[in-house]
Structure 1
Amino acid sequence: MTDLTTPGDYLEVMRAEAPLVQCITNYVAMNIAANCLLAAGASPAMVHVAEEAGEFARFAAALTINIGTLSPDWVDGMTVAARSARDAGAPWVLDPVAHFATAYRRRATETLIALKPDIIRGNASEILALAGGESTAKGVDARDPVHAAEDAARRLAGELSAIVAVTGETDFVTDGTRALRISGGSPLMPKVTALGCSLTCLIGAYAGVKGADLFDASAAALSHFAVAGARAEADATGPGSFSAHFLDHLAALDGKALDAADRREAA
């Protein structure tokens, strides 16, 4: 197997392996998330019901859970899938969408956190609140800048022994000790629904690579997304055309091009 050193290495190996990623995500995100994974080179499966979610998680390369649209049945599926992934040794990623907004969301998030996610991806407001800090957000949109959540992310990563990724204008990822900032992307990205949710699924694809270091894998996924976003903006005339160009650039990037455009820096 190729040594996994750079984002480009991860991209090439991820495409060669085409990891099966179980994506329990919200209604709004299912289509775009599946298309993003297919364009990037992974294999998405939108399996969420409790009757099969646990069984499926035992053989998937990775699991991602997004709490955007909750119901009791969905929470049951999330719970059994996370437990099965943990038992099988497969990495799983939590996207705690607006977890602070209602008591029901808070309880669901507490249940999932207790099942020890390997990676948590959220916007700055979500990560600040998850770490016990003060956030200005009221719903799903971030109202806090990424830099305001960096210390909270480091603390949360150390407390949970997890990778924490804070995404926004400039992404931040940490394992509590190591940390990187990844610049790129486009101002058009927040104008296309569920791209953040799709990024969570892509992190799962990179984490599902055999032998992956989950910190490096998360950073590679963030880099892939950021570079594709910057390139798509150059071709787009607005959010609609951006969405199509973004999928095209996720697919068109190869390892060499990703490394040449890489904008990671130590934090």
Structure 2
Amino acid sequence: MSDIIKAAAELLGQLRSNKPLVHNITNYVTVNDCANAVLAIGASPIMADDIGEAVDITAISSALVINIGTLNHRTVESMLAAGKKANELGIPVVFDPVGAGASRLRNETTRAILSEIKVSVVRGNMSEISFIAGLNANTKGVDAAEEDIASGDAAQAAVALAVAEKLECVAAITGATDIITDGKRIAAVSNGHKMLSDVTGTGCMTTALVGSFCGAGRDAFVAAVAGIAAMGIAGEIAFENAGSKGTGSFHMAIIDAISRLDEKILFERARINETYR
């Protein structure tokens, strides 16, 4: 059993015991799925995106998740204010740059968040993280472009490392193989099922899970690995139990699988390869 799998499983136990409050300023397409995923993994979700309370809610939370999936100027103000309060109090911030590279508003918001807020983890697809790295990103709306998907694990690792070093944070690129790095440690997670890409919001749910694990422990790298592996394992179990029924049943089965995930299942099913630079 590798050290990273053991650490991820132990963190899951801590999460279920501590039930951290996780503040999500996320998009309205997936907000219900994210809340249910956070609940299923054992944390407590709260979704407060009004500027009148975003800072106050952040102050009592164990982690803050910022997701720019459905942007408007009102919530951007709340994101920045909440992120600054989290930094002030030492609360981890997880950032999901949904669709970065697709529009001027998304690009400007991504740059503002990363320049004004110290993030603990940034999680996205290859196109989104490539944009943050300052590379040419072949974005396809909120999805990764085929060119970026086909770039391979080595290219993904190079981009993730560039972002981790640039922002001094954990950078995670999710895809067929998920790559997570803090600039020194690199983890490749091979869990998951291709049917996850047929359900809207699985990326957002993954980020919410990472936020939940960040709220339970101090090591953002382990938290990111654990959250991403948890989603991948849930996707595998959901396919085994309901994949033949269609995407609606598969969608519900994901939440079922997350709710039943425990240290033993993570131990037995996690496929994580960790290397060091």
Same fold judged by TM-score > 0.5? Answer: yes
Name the residue aligned to 2:201.
Answer: 194
Residue 39 of structure 1: aligned partner: 40
CA contact (8 A) 1:127 1:149 kept: no
Q: Given the alignment of the two structures, is residue 217 of structure 1 paired with residue 223 of structure 2, yes or no?
A: yes
* 1:62 and 1:90 in contact (8 A); partners too: yes
Identity in percent: 38
Aligned to 1:8: 9
Paired letter, 2:176: E
Quote the offset at 1:102 in angstroms.
1.4
Please, what TM-score do these two structures have when normalized by structure 1?
0.95
Counterpart of 1:169 in structure 2 is 176
Measure, in 1, the Cα distance between the counterparts of 2:192 and 2:15: 21
Question: Are positions 1:96 and 2:113 aligned together?
Answer: no
Q: How many residues matched?
A: 264
Q: Is the 8 A contact 2:86 2:92 kept in 1?
A: yes
Q: CA deviation at 1:171?
A: 0.6
> Any unmatched runs of 5+ in structure 1?
none
- Write out per-residue CA displacement over residues 13-70 of structure 1, whole angstroms, 9 at most, x where no aligned residue: 1010111000000010101111111111110101111111011111100000000111
Q: Does structure 2 retain, via aligned residues, the 8 Å contact 1:121–1:166?
A: yes
Q: CA deviation at 1:111?
A: 1.0
Q: After the TM superposition, list the runs of 4 or more consecutive aligned residues in structure 1 that deviate by more than 4 angstroms.
A: none
Counterparts in 2 of 1:106-145, with a 5 A limit? 106-114=107-115, 115-143=117-145, 144-145=148-149
For residue 164 of structure 1, give the secondary structure of its aligned residue in structure 2: strand
Does structure 1 residue 83 correspond to structure 2 residue 89?
no
CA displacement at 1:266 relative to structure 2: 2.1
Structure 1 counterpart of 2:191:
184
Which sits farther off after the overlay, 55-64 or 132-141? 132-141
Corresponding position of 1:261: 269
1:229 aligned to which of 232, 235, 255:
235
Q: Which amino acid aligns with 1:167?
A: T
Q: Report the alpha carbon displacement of residue 198 of structure 1 after superposing the two structures with TM.
A: 1.0
Question: Given residue 239 of structure 1, which amino acid in structure 2 is its aligned partner?
Answer: T
For residue 70 of structure 2, what is the aligned residue in structure 1?
69
Q: Is the 8 A contact 1:7 1:224 kept in 2?
A: no
The TM-score with structure 2 as length reference comes to: 0.92
> 2:221 and 2:36 mapped to 1: Cα distance?
24
Q: Deviations over 1:231-264 (max 9, x none)?
A: 1111122211111111111111111121111100
**Amino acid aligned to 2:196:** M
Q: Would you say the 8 A contact 2:94–2:207 is kept in 1? A: yes
Letter in 2 for 1:86: N
